[in-house]
Structure 1
Amino acid sequence: PVLAAGGCNILLDGAKAPQISATILNEGITASFMPPTLIYSLIDHANAAGIRYTGMRHLIYGAAPMPMARIRQAQEVFGPHIAAIYGQTEAPTMISAITARELAQDENIESVGRPCPFNDVQIMGPDGTILPSGETGEVVIRGDLVMRGYLNRPDLTEQTIVDGWLHTGDLGSFDERGYLFLKDRLRDVIISGGFNVYPADVETVLASHPDVAEASVIARPDDYWGQRVEAAVVLRQALPRENWARSAPPRRSTSSPRCRSARSARSRATACCAWSNSLNEGAPARDTARSRMDTLIYPVSTSRG
């Protein structure tokens, strides 16, 4: 599309935030697609350098969710030009999309938009029932552009495509306007004390702290809860080891947490940890961190309840 419109594509090989920032400013870049982690790096670089990317007219992110606090920061640094797409390779790349104008509205900031043309997107319950607006289930899709199966893997095809519906493995819900809101990956849902805990909810709360650059949450086995919630955080500025808090003794609460709220998300973050290095700028933060939680180096706080 850029070349067809008479534009110019600029390709950078292995560039970091300072080089990308300089290219945006010096070359007059007006449009780009980036994963959230790269946007985070550019936000932090821009704030440290006191610059803004006022020439950017279209910045689309995808490949991983972006917390609400980070979206607002991006809108401040790049202007109200942030749009998002949601998709996967098995589907037609874009399952849904949201424009910058829509994303600038408070009620849409956590949405991935509305289904793209030629897609039939629904929310399905565990029993295969299509769920109404407001109810959370697995995002499923069908249409002429959806893949017919995995090459030479009929077993995976049978698991993924059932009765014509491609199962994305993502949990989400539609609101009454038809906007799609994602909760988490189906396989990442944590069942702690009988309650469903969505790692993305906890990550959003952690990421809202001004000192936290990135956060990622997984489950650990727990004799009391069945599963406990653990988080890896990357701070914006490194702290000396002597400033790290020591692990507090575990405590148990007899009260039941309320689900699907920020309060619940905070209460379920049972073990926050510091990570030795920042996450890979080129990879989705959540998938990278969740797959490498064994590299956590030091627990900074522990609580239950």
Structure 2
Amino acid sequence: MALLSVRDLHTRYAVGRQVLRAVDGVSFDIEPGETVGLVGESGCGKSTLGKTVLRLVPSADGEIRLDGVNITRLGDRAMAPHRRRMQMIFQDPFGSLNPRQTIRTVLDTALKVHQQGNAGERARRLQEIIARVGLPADSPDRYPHEFSGGQRQRIGIARALVLHPALIVCDEPVSALDVSIQAQILNLLVDLKRDLGLSYLFISHDLSVVRYFADRVLVMYLGRIVESASHATLWRDPRHPYTKALFAAVPSTDPTHRRTAASIKGELTTDIASGCRFASRCPAATDRCRAEEPLLRTVGEGHHAACHYA
């Protein structure tokens, strides 16, 4: 049984008199111990999808199942035990921490809210998690501004781990860090996955990071998943023109790289026309693409793409 199962999920925002379909009919599963990467341009709905899965943003329609339990419409009291099972690491390691709280308060509050152990047990848990993420032993009595950016992200990881979750949504967890620090944080996440049996939904616009980190990759465009496959299959044989264009934008030492791959025309827009929502930017679009929206279909073993010509 899948740890997380999402079916036909929709999230909408009112923007003036218009409705923005940030997540528009997304379905996917995450198995125990699996890392699923979620990639796409800024504004395609990646972060909204992650927050909707965690019930931080209300969904308009669809179903979210955790451990087989439908949590989509659960009230706060019924949802509480499930919140312990899934946590989030945010993009901004400083903005996501309260500057007036010590690290002890940040971590201990989560344990108190969920009634996890007495004072002594909570103190031992804090020291255990501080050591596991590689922070100094005196960290609990210090404030966020006393740490470097990489250390603050380790605090964010500690906060996510303190309740023994099964699933962690990582929302661009290394994009605000220096490249050398990014590698340290990614290696820490890999070690934690191996040691604790964690599952990740790893959101990123950096394809090189996702290639290193993910078992399976979902490509998102304007609220929809347009391609999904194992990371090895996707890099070897991308089928959707948008995926190919994303790969073309990745810097490469190969002098033929940009000549042999298609590039993306225009800019991402929230105006969704009839037909394929990528048609206005696709170099291979036809009249069929502009008139008929393609469905996500199987194009190989474990490989799906929403393109008429995949």
The verdict on a shared fold, with TM-score over 0.5 as the criterion, is no
Provide TM-score, normalisation by structure 2: 0.29
Provide TM-score, normalisation by structure 1: 0.30
